[in-house]
């Protein structure tokens, strides 16, 4: 294949180089388009065909259902690695040695204390505030308590910011949930693993010792790994674009959390459970809801189905489905919601509308079922997603800053009024 793309506009022909990635993905490099053509731009709503950057972090092939972090398959990572190892690999490029991992974990624990004044901010939120709004605000507030901005040219500074946020974020996550439940805001224990500590901080009651359950620890570890990165999705692109203005790491992450909140993105796991509950309340008639999902005059969508990139199957959904079965068996949960979920899944997989549009269950169809069985409130589901996605956001922010990427600033095609003279208010 030639390594040049040719573009004809009227009588003029322009040439643009092709860029080929390490997995042979080809892109047309249009950096010189506006200059060469005298201002012609491209339009691509939703960026369905636009690469915003070159990235060495995550490879995703939606047609074949492939997801790899730093070259390692998601299946192998979910089976053999733990969340902190995956976080380290995502952020720094290589799996850590034993010594590196121990130091990483120990540094994270050392930085996990959150300024006690953060509790005053939490107190100021109404109890019914959505935890994603609270988490986004608290993450942004960390900037005020840690004002010195990261010197991105210093590896040490960069590392310190990374361990700081990985240490403090789970505390904010746990406190967000505990505040809603009226429980004292606690700390975990330095002697525990990262994921065990998250569970202890979230679930420990003030009057009894928290006992770990290995099945739950493993399931949460897997869930966090599966959510840890997903290349240039909505929230990650948000983190990169906010960070491209050289806003700090915590501010960029806070923006990413807001982006993740939406029901078309991370908020889907909450939306799935709410949908399943609504179907149950309405008598459990899955066929009725299948018909609604297919009706173009009805805004209802089958939440947890479809994906912008995966058009075959979501490899994360396959792994998490097995974990969901394990957790439900361990906890002895017999959940009617699960029967509705399985019914919908079967119907959709055999329905022409869904098959033709390549709409398969995505990771969020199953994650909510596990979170619910673990006793995590529905409104916290997207917060758990954010906890998993944190290393991916950090890795992408770090790559963007180290790569000295220019500020993100897309173009538009203006379709408004042409020039018109100002009309005095008495003449309007
Ligand atoms: N239920 C019913 N129909 C659907 C669904 C769905 N869940 N998803 C897509 N469709 C239909 C659309 O109506 C459209 O039909 P048409 O071609 O007849 O007009 C077609 O499938 C293509 O849909 P688009 O919205 O163009 O697909 P896009 O790639 O833009 O959207 C998205 C992907 C947003 C995930 C979509 O499938 C959706 O809304 N799903 C439900 C929400 C969800 O589960 N989001 C989680 C995504 S995973 C994550 O963020 C971790």
Blockwise average pLDDT, block size 10, the chain, 428 residues: 91 97 96 96 95 97 94 97 98 98 98 95 94 96 83 91 97 96 94 97 96 94 96 97 95 97 87 92 92 94 89 88 86 84 89 92 87 92 96 98 95 97 96
Rounded distance between C-alpha atoms, residue 49 and residue 70, angstroms: 23
Q: Are residues 159 and 44 in the same domain?
A: no
Instruction: Please tell me the distance between residue 307's alpha carbon and the centre of ligand 1 in angstroms.
Output: 6
Q: What is the CATH number of the domain that holds 29?
A: 2.20.28
The pTM score is 0.91
Number of domains the chain contains: 2
CA-nearest residue, atom 21 of ligand 1: 357
Locate the ligand 1 atom nearest the alpha carbon of residue 308 and give its number.
Answer: 29
Instruction: Find the helix packing angle between 315-331 and 214-226, rounded to 10°.
Output: 160
For residue 57, tell me if it sits in a domain.
Answer: yes
What does the pLDDT read at residue 106? 98
Q: Are residues 200 and 147 in the same domain?
A: yes
Locate the ligand 1 atom nearest the alpha carbon of residue 309 and give its number.
Answer: 29
Locate the ligand 1 atom nearest the alpha carbon of residue 293 and give its number.
Answer: 2
Q: Are residues 120 and 170 in the same domain?
A: yes
Range of the domain at 235: 52-396
Rounded distance between C-alpha atoms, residue 418 and residue 413, angstroms: 13
For residue 410, tell me if it sits in a domain.
Answer: no
Q: Are residues 196 and 263 in the same domain?
A: yes
- Listed in sequence order, the residues at least 6 apart from 397 whose beta carbon sits closer than 8 Å to its beta carbon are 239, 240, 243, 249, 252, 253
- Listed in sequence order, the residues at least 6 apart from 244 whose beta carbon sits closer than 8 Å to its beta carbon are 400, 405, 406, 407, 408
Q: Are residues 25 and 166 in the same domain?
A: no
CA-nearest residue, atom 30 of ligand 1: 308
Instruction: Please tell me the distance between residue 384's alpha carbon and the centre of ligand 1 in angstroms.
Output: 22
What does the pLDDT read at residue 109? 97
Phi-psi region for residue 24, left (φ > 0), alpha (ψ -120 to 50) or beta?
left
Under a CB-based contact definition with an 8 Å cutoff, are residues 58 and 392 in contact? yes
Q: Are residues 21 and 108 in the same domain?
A: no
Give tens-digit pLDDT for 270-304: 889 999 999 999 999 999 999 999 999 999 999 99
Indicate the top mutation candidate among 45, 306, 313, 356 to test ligand 1's pocket, ranked by most ligand atoms within 8 A of CB: 306
The b/e string for 163-189 (b: 16+ C-beta within 10 A; e otherwise) is bbbbbbbbbbbbbbbbbbeebebbebe
Site of tokens 């005298």: 38
What does the pLDDT read at residue 183? 95
What residues does ligand 1 touch, defined as CB less than 6 Å away?
264-266, 268, 293, 301-308, 357, 359, 362-364
What does the pLDDT read at residue 331? 87
CA-nearest residue, atom 38 of ligand 1: 306
What does the pLDDT read at residue 312? 81
| Distance from the Cα of residue 310 to its chain's centroid | 15
For residue 409, tell me if it sits in a domain.
Answer: no
For 311, phi then psi, to 5°, come to -120, 25
CA-nearest residue, atom 15 of ligand 1: 357
Q: Are residues 16 and 70 in the same domain?
A: no
Give tens-digit pLDDT for 394-427: 999 999 999 999 999 999 999 999 999 999 999 9
Q: Which of 13, 54, 16 is nearest to 33 (CA)?
A: 16
């Amino acid at each position: 294949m030639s390594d040049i793309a040719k573009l004809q506009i009227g009588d003029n022909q322009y040439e643009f180089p092709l860029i080929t990635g390490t997995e042979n993905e080809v892109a047309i490099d249009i950096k010189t388009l506006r200059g060469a053509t005298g201002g012609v731009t491209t339009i691509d709503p939703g960026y369905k065909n636009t690469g915003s950057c070159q990235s060495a972090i995550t490879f995703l092939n939606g047609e074949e259902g492939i997801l790899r972090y730093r070259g390692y398959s998601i299946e192998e990572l979910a089976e053999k690695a733990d969340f902190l190892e995956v976080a380290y690999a995502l952020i720094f490029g290589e799996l850590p040695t034993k010594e590196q991992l121990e130091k990483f974990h120990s540094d994270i624990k050392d930085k996990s204390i959150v300024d006690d004044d953060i509790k005053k901010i939490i107190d100021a939120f109404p109890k019914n505030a959505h935890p994603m709004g609270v988490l986004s605000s608290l993450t942004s507030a960390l900037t005020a308590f840690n004002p010195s901005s990261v010197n991105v040219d210093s590896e040490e500074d960069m590392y310190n910011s990374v361990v700081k946020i990985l240490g403090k974020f789970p505390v904010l996550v746990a406190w967000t949930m505990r505040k809603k439940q009226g429980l004292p805001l606690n700390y975990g224990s330095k002697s525990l693993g990262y994921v065990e500590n998250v569970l202890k901080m979230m679930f420990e009651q003030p009057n009894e010792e928290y006992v770990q359950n290995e099945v739950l620890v493993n399931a949460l570890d897997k869930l966090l790994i599966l959510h840890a990165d997903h290349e240039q999705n909505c929230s990650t692109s948000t983190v990169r674009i906010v960070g491209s203005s050289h806003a700090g790491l915590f501010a960029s992450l806070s923006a990413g959390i807001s982006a993740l909140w939406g029901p078309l993105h991370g908020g889907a796991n909450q939306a799935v459970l709410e949908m399943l509950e609504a179907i149950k309340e309405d008598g459990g008639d899955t066929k009725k809801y299948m018909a609604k999902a297919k009706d173009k005059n009805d805004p209802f969508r089958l939440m947890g189905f479809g994906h912008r990139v995966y058009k075959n199957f979501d490899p994360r959904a396959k792994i998490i489905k097995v974990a969901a079965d394990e957790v439900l068996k361990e906890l002895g949960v017999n959940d009617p919601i699960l029967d509705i979920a399985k019914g919908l899944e079967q119907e959709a997989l055999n329905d022409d509308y869904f098959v033709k549009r390549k709409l398969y269950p995505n990771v969020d169809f199953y994650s909510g079922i596990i979170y619910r069985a673990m006793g995590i409130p529905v409104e916290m589901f997207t917060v758990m997603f954010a906890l998993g996605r944190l290393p991916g956001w950090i890795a992408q922010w770090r790559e963007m800053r180290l790569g000295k990427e220019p500020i993100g600033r897309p173009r538009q095609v203006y379709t408004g009024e042409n020039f018109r003279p100002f009309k005095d208010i008495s003449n309007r």
